[in-house]
Amino acid sequence: MTASLNALAVLNAATPDAKVKAAKHLAQEWAASQDVGAYIENVPDTPARPEKPELVAPSDVKRRRLGTPAGRCALLHAVAHIEFNAIDLAADMIARFGHHPDIPEADRNAFIADWISVCNDEARHFGLLQTRLAEFGMSYGDLPAHNGLWEAAVKTKSNFAARLAIAPMVLEARGLDVTLGMIEKLTSVGDTESADILKIIYNDEIGHVAIGARWFQTLARIRGQEPESWFHHLVGSYYAGQLKPPFNVQARTLAGLKQGFYIPLS
């Protein structure tokens, strides 16, 4: 099947195992033949998801104290939920925006390839967390979670530039800011297994922010927009609230995200 249809299959997979399998299938078929496929008209606004976790307001998600196994499980579960949504976000980028007219025809395969690699990474991250949760006798869905990530996706479903600005350059970049602290805390309480998983995720996520920032800047050039002021405008219109310091300037810079993008929004 084509990349478009395989990305749609990821969105339509409901169970965690089916979604991970579909993401891997997308990457495998792309490696065998780089067939972008046709434009898909009806990409679902909300992808299929399992009945659990129960989705609650962010304020109803319990705070995590990492000194206890229960606290660490809650953290791992929260990160697993982010990764699960991230699989869908990458698949949605392909299915919804892979044929966007602003992507030059000559760049289309590179665009699809980038987001397939992201989708595959997210599925791998989710799998690592699933395995770690199982070692604590838990699985994804055992705790409630909030739907903030997908709400951001729905808000930007009709604006390609806003999706690039918000999903990788605001939300995934925020992950870079907070993950090092989690790694430190997990290490300090002796949970090096969980810390090692977050280190893998952290390093890969620098690459994801880089992919998002690069395509945003490509799009800005095509549209004749000054990237930083365009980003400020889009975040102001599509993202409620300010960006929270402290920022991981080093990781953000590695990802090609200059301070001029985010400092003025904090």
The contact set with Fe ion (CB under 5 A) reads: 83, 86, 122, 125, 172, 205, 208
Q: Is 35 exposed, middle or buried (0-12, 13-18, 19+ CB in 10 A)?
A: middle
Residue of minimal Cβ distance to Fe ion: 208
Residue 255 CA to residue 239 CA, distance in Å, equals: 21
To the nearest whole angstrom, how small is the minimum distance from the Cβ of residue 101 to Fe ion?
26
Task: Between 37 and 202, name the residue whose CB sits nearer to Fe ion.
Answer: 202
To the nearest whole angstrom, how small is the minimum distance from the Cβ of residue 68 to Fe ion?
25
Q: Is 101 exposed, middle or buried (0-12, 13-18, 19+ CB in 10 A)?
A: exposed
Q: Measured at the alpha carbon of residue 234, what is the angle toward residues 230 and 239, in degrees to the nearest 5?
A: 150
80 and 131 Cβ atoms separated by less than 8 Å: no
Tokens of 246: 């402290």
CB atoms within 10 A of CB 242: 10
To the nearest whole angstrom, how small is the minimum distance from the Cβ of residue 74 to Fe ion?
18
DSSP state of 142: S
Task: Between 172 and 191, name the residue whose CB sits nearer to Fe ion.
Answer: 172
CB atoms within 10 A of CB 60: 11
Residue 154 CA to residue 25 CA, distance in Å, equals: 25
To the nearest whole angstrom, how small is the minimum distance from the Cβ of residue 237 to Fe ion?
23
Task: Between 23 and 235, name the residue whose CB sits nearer to Fe ion.
Answer: 23
128 and 200 Cβ atoms separated by less than 8 Å: yes
To the nearest whole angstrom, how small is the minimum distance from the Cβ of residue 57 to Fe ion?
24
Task: Between 174 and 233, name the residue whose CB sits nearer to Fe ion.
Answer: 174
To the nearest whole angstrom, how small is the minimum distance from the Cβ of residue 124 to Fe ion?
8
Task: Between 60 and 193, name the residue whose CB sits nearer to Fe ion.
Answer: 193
Task: Between 3 and 201, name the residue whose CB sits nearer to Fe ion.
Answer: 201
Residue 98 CA to residue 132 CA, distance in Å, equals: 33
145 three-class SS: strand
